[in-house]
Amino acid sequence: MTKRTSITSGRARRAMKMGELASQVGSSYLWNQLRRPFLSAPARDRELLETHIRNAQRIVESSKQLRGAFMKLIQMLSIRRDLLPGEALDVLRTTQSNVPPMSYATISEQIHSEIGKRPEALFRSFDQTAFAAASLGQVHRAITRDGIDVAVKIQYPGVEDTVEQDLGNLKLLLRTLQALGHDVMRQQIDTAKVYTELEQRLREELDYVNEARNMVEFGRRLGADREIMIPHFIKELSSRRVLTMTYIDGYPLADVMGPEVDFELREWVARKIHEFAWRQILEFGMLHTDFHPGNYLVSHHPRLGVLDFGSIRRFPEQVRKAHLQVARAILSGDDKSLGAAMVKLGYLGRDQDPAPMVRIIHILFEPMMVDCAVDPLEYDTVGKASKVGELALQNRLYQSPPHGVFLIRALIGLEGITRGLAVKTNYRRIFADCVERIPG
């Protein structure tokens, strides 16, 4: 396994790499546009798709070289279907995995710098090989002096030093993607809102004290649910860049996907993951935005384990209530109330006709609109997204409030998990059960 010892740093070098990236991406689309008049319609479509994929690959390669904060920002961008088509986003999503870990010597020094002692002095045992590595840090198993099995998450040294550079460079890349959205994909992209939300979430993910606070709050809110496992935070072995928590054992969620896995278990997981999502949005007003299988475990009991509390979006109370109004309107068929709620949420202006937006919600939430079993594999995600894009373009529905950026990310992740589980069931009833338990 390849080891790495540092994060690419230096303003000039990182800025040069980002400048090269933006130039390559922009030039490739310009060349594509110049060639279009000389190609047949099928050839134009094929070449445009190839250009999208080629540019997504360029972005991925740059993120793997720069690592750290920029790689995390690319992972966050990988859910933005308004910026690139699905085939290109599939390439971007490869940044979610295959990150080589840093050497143990580097990690040991980081723990010593943060807590004052090296792992050998802090723990009864400490596994020198990371069992998980990501863009901002890696995780090691250990046993505390009093015998508690724990996971220790260590932030890579130097990541924070690159944040300002990477955020500045991100603006350059977003401008290129904005031009793509407007000129090629015929979408109006408010990159300022995208940038602001990405910046806020990134800064939160770099602060492990904030992540510990999130973990404790989720544990408090879900403590009565015996089917959910939340790690316990160990304060005396943690800092802003080191987070020690109880180890949760179970199968990765990806291991219970697929037709060969017992249907009853997959059905239970599908119900539980939906219940977990809707309770957060509608009841708690706070959302674990990173809905990908790597953040969930399934135990023998069965129980659902939740990991990584770095990216949590808290909604103001008025936003939570408006989301609840949307949910109740979907279940009752009250399109007037649905339109009013979308105004409250900032997706519609008060002078806009709500009918097209209501139609979009009907399309997106189709499994919750019908009181029968729905097969997620029969839900035409690409076709639905295309129809939604057409409606938005035709009716100038360009407003997207900042709180919607990571809500969309979470819901897209939830859909991906649902498709992976491939469970035909009544999703409306799961949704309704969550709504009905909320007072007021």
Kindly state whether residue 201 falls inside one of the protein's structural domains.
no
Last residue of a domain, one of 248, 280, 299: 248
Kindly state whether residue 195 falls inside one of the protein's structural domains.
no
Residues of the domain holding 22: 11-96+163-185
Q: Do 35 and 140 have their domain in common?
A: no
Kindly state whether residue 193 falls inside one of the protein's structural domains.
no
pLDDT of residue 65: 62
Q: Do 237 and 254 have their domain in common?
A: no
Instruction: Kindly list the averaged pLDDT for each block of 10 residues, start to end, along the chain of length 440.
Output: 52 68 77 78 77 72 64 67 61 62 92 97 97 85 98 89 72 64 56 75 87 96 94 97 96 90 96 97 92 89 93 93 97 97 94 94 94 92 77 78 81 89 96 91
Q: Do 178 and 135 have their domain in common?
A: no
Beta bridge partners of 143: 125, 149
Greatest CA separation for the chain: 73
Query: Mapped to the 3 state alphabet, what secondary structure does 399-410 carry?
Result: CCCHHHHHHHHH
Based on the structure, what is the number of domains in the chain?
Answer: 3
Q: Do 311 and 231 have their domain in common?
A: no
The counts of H helices and E strands in the chain are: 17, 11
Q: Could you tell me the CA-to-CA distances from 196 to 164, 201, 414 in Å, in that order?
A: 13, 9, 23
Q: Do 113 and 75 have their domain in common?
A: no
Q: Do 243 and 299 have their domain in common?
A: no
Kindly state whether residue 344 falls inside one of the protein's structural domains.
yes
Kindly state whether residue 309 falls inside one of the protein's structural domains.
yes
Q: Do 264 and 144 have their domain in common?
A: no
Q: Report if pTM > 0.75.
A: yes
User: Under a CB-based contact definition with an 8 Å cutoff, are residues 371 and 343 in contact?
Assistant: no
Kindly state whether residue 277 falls inside one of the protein's structural domains.
yes
Q: Do 317 and 414 have their domain in common?
A: yes
Q: Which two tokens stand for residue 95?
A: 């940044």
What CATH number does residue 218 fall under? 3.30.200.20
Q: Which two tokens stand for residue 179?
A: 């031009």
Q: Do 238 and 348 have their domain in common?
A: no
Q: Do 53 and 107 have their domain in common?
A: no
Q: Do 171 and 64 have their domain in common?
A: yes
pLDDT of residue 86: 63
Kindly state whether residue 4 falls inside one of the protein's structural domains.
no
Kindly state whether residue 199 falls inside one of the protein's structural domains.
no
Q: Do 289 and 361 have their domain in common?
A: yes
Q: Could you tell me the CA-to-CA distances from 423 to 126, 153, 296, 375 in Å, in that order?
A: 40, 34, 18, 6
Q: How many CA atoms lie within 13 A of 211 on its CB side?
A: 29
pLDDT of residue 2: 46
